[in-house]
Amino acid sequence: MATEIFEKVQQVLEEIKVDSPQNPEEIEQFRIRYLGSKNIIKPLFGEIRNVPNEKKKEFGQLVNAVKQAAEQKFQQLKSAAESAADQAEGADIDLTAPAEPVDLGSRHPISITLNRIIDIFSRIGFAVAENREIEDDWHNFTAMNTPEDHPARDMQDTFYLKDSTKMLLRTHTSSVQARTMTSQQPPIRIIAPGRVYRNETISARSHCQFHQVEGLYIDENVSFADMKQTLLYFAQEMYGPETKIRLRPSFFPFTEPSAEMDVSCFICDAEGCSVCKYTGWVEILGCGMVDPEVLKNCGIDHEKYTGFAWGMGIERQAMMLYQINDIRLLFENDARFLNQFKSAW
């Protein structure tokens, strides 16, 4: 009798081993048969009372082993079925198909315009010099020959830092001229791009923050003719080989003589349009020969060296190049506006 029961349990164990359910339904049947609430292993535990005392322990262990074998096999079957299902899903993926398009964004029109300017000047040996936006009074004004109470300070309504009459947001990139000349001796050939600030009412034409590129060239025997040729080269590279320039006498405290430079309007070929206000010319920069006072202030020998400088706004040029009619668009970060520059340089 006892041997029979042992054999019966062995038989169930064998059965579990050879049972090989193939699909989810068969696996479920396996579970019901061996692990469900009415499974066939449970009654085997009851048989223990028919087993002689000295065999009870062995019998108990055997039935437990059967139960464990069923549980183990079920777990294996389940995870094999799950990974098969995963693979089947993966089988649909075409690894050679083109990827989902990634939205790469685009360069800002100010960056595009600035990159062009940097590229043009770096080809003739100008290095990029960047410097601070929070500047002191001396570098922004005094060193640039604009002492306190000089009326020219009124041209640039300035943001001063709270509790300070000495620290300010730079009003122009000309401060980088002073920064450069006080830290290095000629020859100096730099362009200084960056953001500048003025206390101006925001409108379609003006903003309290904008960008400039300063230029500075100091060496022996640098003349006004060198400046004119350099700026003509720039204008023709930027706006096309037919572009003409026009220098109009002007005043800046840091240059003598000073000029404002216009380029012939490339939109209407100088015929007259709304961009050039029907004059055929568009003003893009101020320039001049560096005033000897500025050289003196910055510790450069003004008997030995001469030089020229210029400062130009980037917004004005970007607006002209891309025919943008409101400067505020450049600062609003509206993706619908910015996405239009995807294919730009």
Q: Which of 5, 9, 235, 287 binds ligand DAH (CB under 6 A)?
A: 287
Distance CA 241, CA 329 (A): 30
CB of 288 to ligand DAH, least distance (A): 4
Alpha helices in the chain (DSSP H): 2-18, 24-35, 42-46, 53-90, 109-122, 137, 175-181, 224-239, 292-297, 314-321, 329-332, 335-338
Is residue 74 a contact point for ligand DAH (CB under 6 A)? Answer: no
Query: Roughly how many angstroms between the first and final C-alpha of the chain, as a whole number?
Result: 93
Our CB check for ligand DAH shows the closer of 266 and 310 to be 310
**From residue 311, how far is each of 8, 113, 117, 119 by CA, in Å?**
100, 15, 12, 17
Our CB check for ligand DAH shows the closer of 2 and 152 to be 152
Is residue 234 a contact point for ligand DAH (CB under 6 A)? Answer: no
Per-residue 3-state assignment (H helix, E strand, C coil) for 152-212:
HHHHCCCCECCCCCCEEECCCCCHHHHHHHCCCCCCEEEEEEEEEECCCCCCCCCCCEEEE
CB of 300 to ligand DAH, least distance (A): 15
Count the site residues for ligand DAH by CB under 6 A.
11
CB of 132 to ligand DAH, least distance (A): 16
Our CB check for ligand DAH shows the closer of 41 and 114 to be 114
Is residue 310 a contact point for ligand DAH (CB under 6 A)? Answer: yes
222 token code pair: 């640098």
Nearest CA among 56, 84, 96, 70 for reference residue 17: 70
For residues 252-271, which are near ligand DAH according to CB under 6 A? 252, 255
CB of 148 to ligand DAH, least distance (A): 18
Residue partners of 106: CB distance under 8 A and separation at least 6: 338, 339, 341, 342, 344
Is residue 194 a contact point for ligand DAH (CB under 6 A)? Answer: no
Is residue 284 a contact point for ligand DAH (CB under 6 A)? Answer: no
**Do you know the residue count of the chain?**
345
Q: Which of 114, 309, 314, 327 binds ligand DAH (CB under 6 A)?
A: 309
Is residue 174 a contact point for ligand DAH (CB under 6 A)? Answer: yes
Is residue 109 a contact point for ligand DAH (CB under 6 A)? Answer: no
CB of 268 to ligand DAH, least distance (A): 26
Our CB check for ligand DAH shows the closer of 41 and 287 to be 287
Is residue 288 a contact point for ligand DAH (CB under 6 A)? Answer: yes
Question: Which sign does the torsion angle of CA 132, 161, 317, 112 carry?
Answer: positive
Distance CA 195, CA 209 (A): 7
Q: Which stretch binds ligand DAH (CB under 6 A): 110-118, 225-233, 308-316, 328-336?
A: 308-316
Residues that bind ligand DAH (CB under 6 A): 172, 174, 214, 252, 255, 286-288, 309-311
